[in-house]
């Protein structure tokens, strides 16, 4: 198939929405890295890729490469080759930096949108010539016109009463907020949460913002109550753990597993850390159990005669005499 370049955007053309898109104001990096070719902007149906993406004069151009192993893609490629499909369209995404600006000739220009994909289309001169979406949702013509309305010069917007604030010095002083103009992204957010795309009055916007404010206040109050309850429960748990930790360490001292001077060190480990170590420590052993331990030769086994008894330390001799009077008597019988 011979190479054929398609016009993805002509910055001199005003589309059916009433604005144009300067090529140098389109973010192309993402599109160039993943230049998928669709048909009529149908997601999930990739028919090829775009190559040689470039700007020549006033036009954004690209060359289609079709996936000819796919029957549907081959069918579209054939229509392009035979001259039945001649149009292309670019899919633009609204970012936080996207805005409308008034051009030198009075027409609006879309700045700082991001190109996601390019499509072969049947009628490029209609509204499908440019597809716009925000927050992963395709925007319809009413939503787009609502955003454009916010970018119109003040003298072209429908008349509206001034927003006023009152103070002791001047009862008729207008607030600086009256001069604010919503960005395209801000209007897109309001449209996404319920603002009519055809809204043209200040009251409609104000009412929605008031509703959002009431909802936000309620959610913040609920969040604070939940946070307070959660913190109270955590404080109770921490207090119970502190009591349990003190009891655990005191018992370890009593059991001879740690010394009294080590208490602070184990308390600093917290309950779980201290318990895991203390549980693995041996307790103190009585001298009597050492004497009577058959396998404890190193601690002093039961003497078999007077000589072995005499060789034992005095403490073990006394323990043997007190704990095993029968055996002691046999030694001197």
pLDDT in tens, 218-248: 888 888 888 888 888 888 888 888 999 999 9
Compute the distance between CA of residue 236 and CA of residue 250 in angstroms, rounded to an integer: 22
Provide the number of structural domains found in the chain: 2
Report yes or no on 143 lying in a domain.
no
Q: Is residue 307 part of a domain?
A: yes
Q: Are 149 and 200 in contact (CB under 8 A)?
A: yes
Which of 112, 138, 164 marks a domain boundary? Answer: 138
pLDDT of residue 38 exceeding 50, the answer is yes
Residue 261 in domain: no
Cα angle: 29, vertex 35, 36; to 5 degrees: 145
Which domain covers residue 34, as residue numbers?
Answer: 6-138
Confirm whether 200 is domain-assigned: no
Q: Which of 21-30, 130-139, 235-244 has the highest mean pLDDT?
A: 21-30
Q: Is residue 248 part of a domain?
A: no
> Quick one: pLDDT band at residue 119, thresholds 50, 70, 90?
very high
Whether the pLDDT of residue 151 is over 80: the answer is no
* The domain boundary residue, chosen from 82, 104, 138: 138
Predicted confidence (pLDDT) per residue in 295-319, tens digit? 443 345 788 888 888 888 888 888 8
Structural domain includes residue 132: yes
Q: Provide the pLDDT for residue 138.
A: 63
Query: Strand runs (DSSP E) across 15-129, as ranges?
Result: 19-20, 26-27, 36-39, 48-56, 59-66, 87-93, 99-102, 108-111, 113-121
Lookup: tokens for 50: 């775009």
Q: In sequence order, what are the residues at sequence separation of 6 or more whose Cβ sits closer than 8 angstroms to the Cβ of residue 116?
A: 30, 31, 91, 92, 93
Mean pLDDT of 196-203: 64
Q: Does the structure show a pLDDT above 60 at 172?
A: no
Rounded distance between C-alpha atoms, residue 323 and residue 333, angstroms? 18
Q: At what angle do helices 184-192 and 202-254 cross, to 10 degrees?
A: 80
Quick one: which H or E segment has residue 134? Answer: strand 130-134
Q: What's the pTM?
A: 0.44
Average pLDDT over residues 214-219: 85
- End-of-domain residue from the set 138, 173, 192: 138
pLDDT in tens, 251-282: 988 888 888 888 899 999 998 898 889 888 88
Across 121-133, average pLDDT: 61
Indicate whether 238 belongs to any domain. no
> Is position 95 within any domain?
yes
Mean pLDDT of all residues belonging to the chain: 78
């Amino acid at each position: 198939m011979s190479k054929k370049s398609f016009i993805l955007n002509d910055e001199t053309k005003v589309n059916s929405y009433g604005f144009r898109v300067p090529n140098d104001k389109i973010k192309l990096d993402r599109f160039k890295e993943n230049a998928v070719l669709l048909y009529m902007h149908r997601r999930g149906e990739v028919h090829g890729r775009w190559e040689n993406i470039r700007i020549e004069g006033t036009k954004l151009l690209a060359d289609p490469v079709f996936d000819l192993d796919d029957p549907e893609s081959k069918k579209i490629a054939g229509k392009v080759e035979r001259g039945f499909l001649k149009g292309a369209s670019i899919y633009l995404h609204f970012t936080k930096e996207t805005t409308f600006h008034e051009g030198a000739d009075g027409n609006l220009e879309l700045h700082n949108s991001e190109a996601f994909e390019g499509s072969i289309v049947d009628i490029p001169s209609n509204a499908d010539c440019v597809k716009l979406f925000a927050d992963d949702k395709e925007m319809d013509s009413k939503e787009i016109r609502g955003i454009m309305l916010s970018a119109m010069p003040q003298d072209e917007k429908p008349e509206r009463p001034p927003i006023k604030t009152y103070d002791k010095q001047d009862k008729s002083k207008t607030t600086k907020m009256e001069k604010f103009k919503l960005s395209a992204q801000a209007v897109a957010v309001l449209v996404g949460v319920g603002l009519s795309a055809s809204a043209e009055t200040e009251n409609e916007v104000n009412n929605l913002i008031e509703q959002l404010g009431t909802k936000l206040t309620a959610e913040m109050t609920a969040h604070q109550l939940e946070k307070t309850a959660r913190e109270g429960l955590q404080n109770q748990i921490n207090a119970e753990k502190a009591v349990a930790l003190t009891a655990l360490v005191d018992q370890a001292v009593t059991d001879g597993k740690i010394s009294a001077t080590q208490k602070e060190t184990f308390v600093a480990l917290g309950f779980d850390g201290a318990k895991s170590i203390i549980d693995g420590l041996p307790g103190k052993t009585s001298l009597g159990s050492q004497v009577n331990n058959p396998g404890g030769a190193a601690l002093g086994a039961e003497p078999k005669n007077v000589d072995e008894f005499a060789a034992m330390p005095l403490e073990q001799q006394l323990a043997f005499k007190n704990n095993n009077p029968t055996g002691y008597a046999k030694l001197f019988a």
